[in-house]
Amino acid sequence: MAVAPPSYCFVAFPPRTKDGLVVFGKNSARPREEVQEVVYFAAAAHDPGSKVECTYIAIDQVPKTHAIMLSRPAWLWGSEMGANEHGVCIANEAITTREPASETEALLGMDLVRLGLERGATAKEALDVIVSLLEEHGQGGNYYEDGSSCYAFQSAFLIVDRAEAWVLETVGKYWAAEKITEGVKCICNQLSLTTKIDVEHPELRSYAETQGWWTGDTEFNFSEVFSLAEDHLGCCSGQESLEKQEGNITVQTMMDVLRDRASGVCVDSETFLTTASIVSVLPQNPSSPCIHYFTGTPDPSRSIFKPFIFVDDVKLVPKVQSPFLGDDDPVKKKPRFQERPDRRHELYKAHERARSVTENDQDKGQKLMRIMLDLERQGLEAMEDILTSTEVLDPAEVVDLFYDCVDTEIK
């Protein structure tokens, strides 16, 4: 059975956080050479009866989809993590369970992230979208751009808005979810739900009984029932770091946790690397804008978080988008993944050049990192001014915000 990549997702609520903000973050651990792009899709209306082509299968489209900003492996349709115009953020985790994941092509967990963002205006709406599509179409197929073998996983999701979060964990078409409205929550590449389940698949428990995983005589503990052996004992050292910041968790705190190599939250192993990261700030005051910070490049300890705010006519950022290959893409052809095209975007290549400099000249590398972190700090301070301002945000001020940050970073 494939080893799930050790990604980490977090959410923290007031009063653990400062200034009435909900703070969300994720490190996306993926195969080392995989490129992630950051891509915006505007809200759209769709013709009745139209279909949407997901990574492997086509499903019915809905009449209207929300504007979304995604950080995604450049070869697939879905997303590892992202946000929509209504302040909903979703991240997913690949997990292994007693139920082997299906290699048959269906929806990927990452497709469900995007579908939840496109169709859900609240965290609960996104949850309902994901579970209904999961039951209708199932999940399955290769999680990696690899023609030599299939790596299939079950999925877990952290779904967050300004008011609440949902932890959704799945086993095939079966699922359970817990509502979170306070404190700090972390999910990783293991099941985490135990006995507190707020909603679930109607046949979840009877399915566990028919498989011989639960007798019905004991309290139903989701992780114990569906996990492999002792694979449910908690995995989140980053949660402890956040919990120590009682009442003081900020966007900077979340970024620091995501950059922490010692805790294992920032992954850099022979197999896996944190290929991209996101932090989002969701004010509980609905008149304040949500702000989403994307790296778009590997390893947050040597990348910087750049802010994005949803407004109309956002300026697109080709420099963080991978080359579009259309029908010639090896993911579109069967058998799939017979070639590995160069999916590096301009910012990714700039980071590769910078990394070769830092490895060969430590002083130069440290100076470069100081300049980049100063750029990040300027962005954080500007966003702080927006959040604390009593004036209504002028969309014209931020329409090219992310574009300008990426451009300056490359320079």
pLDDT of residue 163: 98
Cis peptide before 323 (omega within 30 of 0): no
So what's the pLDDT on residue 229? 73
pTM: 0.97
Tell me whether residue 59 is exposed, middle or buried, using C-beta atoms within 10 angstroms of its C-beta: 0 to 12, 13 to 18, 19 or more: middle
Instruction: Tell me the pLDDT band of 236, cut-offs 50, 70 and 90.
Output: low
Give the pLDDT of residue 388.
94
Tell me, what's the pLDDT at 230? Answer: 63
Q: Give the residue extent of every domain in the chain.
A: 8-410
Is pLDDT above 90 for 3? no
Nearest to 189 by CA among 143, 154, 240: 154
Whole-number pLDDT of residue 243: 82
Classify burial at 329, counting beta carbons within 10 Å of its beta carbon; exposed 0-12, middle 13-18, buried 19 or more.
middle
Considering the candidates 9, 54, 266, 290, report the single residue annotated as catalytic.
Answer: 9
CATH superfamily of 8-410: Penicillin V Acylase; Chain A (3.60.60.10)
Checking if the pLDDT of 237 tops 70, the result is no
pLDDT at 234 over 60: no
Residue-wise pLDDT tens digits, 100-145: 999 999 999 999 999 999 999 999 999 999 999 999 999 999 999 9
The whole-number average pLDDT for the span 300-323 is 97
| pLDDT greater at residue 235 or residue 388 | 388
Q: Which residues of 245-265 are buried (b: 16+ CB within 10 A; e: fewer)?
A: beeebbbebbbbbbbbeeebb
- Of the chain, the end-to-end C-alpha distance in Å amounts to 44
Asked about 236 being catalytic, the answer comes back as no
Please say whether the beta carbons of 79 and 151 come within 8 A. no
